[in-house]
Each structure stands twice: as structure tokens, then as C-alpha cells.
Amino acid sequence: MSFNKALNDEEVFSEMRKMVAFIKQEALEKAREIKVKADEEFNIEKAKLVRQEAINIDAAFQRKVKQADVQRRIAQSNNINKSRMTLLLTRQQMLDDLFAESRTQLLTVSKDPTRYEKFLSDSILQAFFRLLESEVTIQYRKADKALLDKLLPGVKARYLEATTQTVDVQLLDDHLPADGAGGVIAAGNGGRTKCNNTPEARLAILEEDMLPLVRDMLFGQSPNRRFFN
């Protein structure tokens, strides 16, 4: 028959110390596991944050690059438009000067009796052909009255020969400006149909009709022009 031996106090304390040491060791190991896991999670989260921040920085940089490119393109476009506008204004000024000089030269036509007599005769005849009326009124410079009286019989005869129609002409008292280039404004159909055959009117028509050609002669053909007269 055997009996369990009772532990003395020293043995009891020894067992308790062993148990405490075991529990402490397990606690330390558990703490190390928790720390390792926490460190891993921290590193993972830190890596995510670093990666996200890198993405944000790259996106911000790309936006800056795009903004800078847009601003560069806008500035370049503005400079091109400014240069083009300056060129167009310069060209237009040259054309305006050219036609202004032409208008000045018109005034010299009436100062040459031979040239002006032919011009006035042709202008009246052309007005007759355009109106094709049996009764025509003529507005003229007061200074041209004597010349008109001289030319009208011959002009009416030429018109009769060409059309077999006579034309009755009335000279109006409402004269053209004395400082103008001369010519006539003829009207038919009770004044409702008019033919302005003054040099100024002819030049205005010429400016409109010849402007594309004059531009091409002075500056060359535009590469953007699609239609040609």
C-alpha cells in the first residue's frame, strides 16, 4: 500500500515558481507573436500609404504637366493669332493705301480734257445701254454742263445706231459734288432705276471685284483659299 507524499513548503513554492515561469514564458511568446503581427500589419499599411501617396504625387505631377502644356499651347496660339492679325492689318492697310491713291488719281482724269471727254462720252452711252429707257435723267457736275451739251448729240446718235431706239435726256439741276471726279448718274423709269457711272462708283465696284486678285498679286495666293474666281 502506497501513499502520496505530502509536499513541504519548499516544494510547493518550487512548483509554483515553475508554473509562473511557464505562464510568463507563454505570455512573452504571445506578446512577441502579437508584436510581429502588428509590425507586419503596420508595414503593410505603411507600404499602402506610401504607394498611394506616390500615386497621388504622380497624378498631381501629370496634372501640372498637362496644365503647363495647355498654357503653352494657349500662349502659342495667342502669339500666332496676334502675328496673323498684325499681318492682316498690315496687308489691309497696304490695300487701303493703294485704293486711296487710286481715288486720288481719279481726280486727275477730269483735268485732262481729251481723256475726260472720252470717259464722259463712254459713261453716258454705257448708262443708256444699262437702262434701256426712252427717257433718261442725268445728274452731273455743274462744270461739265458745256461738255455734256457738246457730247449728248453724238452719244444719242451712237445709241440709236446700236439699238434703233431714241432716248430723250433731261439734265438735272441737282448737280454732283464740284470736288468729285466727274462722270454721271443716269436714271430711268421715273428715277426708280439708276446707273451710277461716276469714277468713284466704278472704283468702288473695281475694289470689290478686283480685291482677291490684287491680294494675290501683292501677297501671293493664300493656302487656305478654296475657291477662285
Contact between 199 and 106 under an 8 Å Cβ cutoff? The reply is yes
The grid cell for 134 is 426712252
pLDDT of residue 73: 92
Instruction: Provide the residue-wise pLDDT of the chain in tens; the chain has 229 residues.
Output: 445 566 677 888 888 888 888 888 888 888 888 888 888 888 888 888 888 888 999 898 899 999 999 999 999 999 998 888 888 788 778 878 887 887 788 777 888 899 999 999 999 999 999 999 999 999 999 999 999 999 999 999 999 999 999 999 999 999 999 988 899 999 999 889 999 999 989 888 887 877 777 667 666 666 565 554 4
Task: Give the chain as a DSSP string.
Answer: ---PPPP-HHHHHHHHHHHHHHHHHHHHHHHHHHHHHHHHHHHHHHHHHHHHHHHHHHHHHHHHHHHHHHHHHHHHHHHHHHHHHHHHHHHHHHHHHHHHHHHHHHHHHTTSHHHHHHHHHHHHHHHHHHH--SEEEEEEBGGGHHHHHHHHHHHHHHHHHHHS---EEEE-SSPBPTTS---EEEEETTTTEEEEESHHHHHHHHHHHHHHHHHHHHH---TT-----
pLDDT of residue 224: 60
CA dist., res. 70 & res. 84, Å (int): 21
Residue 115's alpha-carbon distances to 71, 86, 107, 215, 222, in angstroms, are 62, 40, 12, 29, 37
CA dist., res. 35 & res. 43, Å (int): 12
Residue 98 makes CB contacts below 8 A (sequence gap 6+) with 214
Place of cell 471685284: 209
Place of cell 493669332: 81
The grid cell for 39 is 509590425
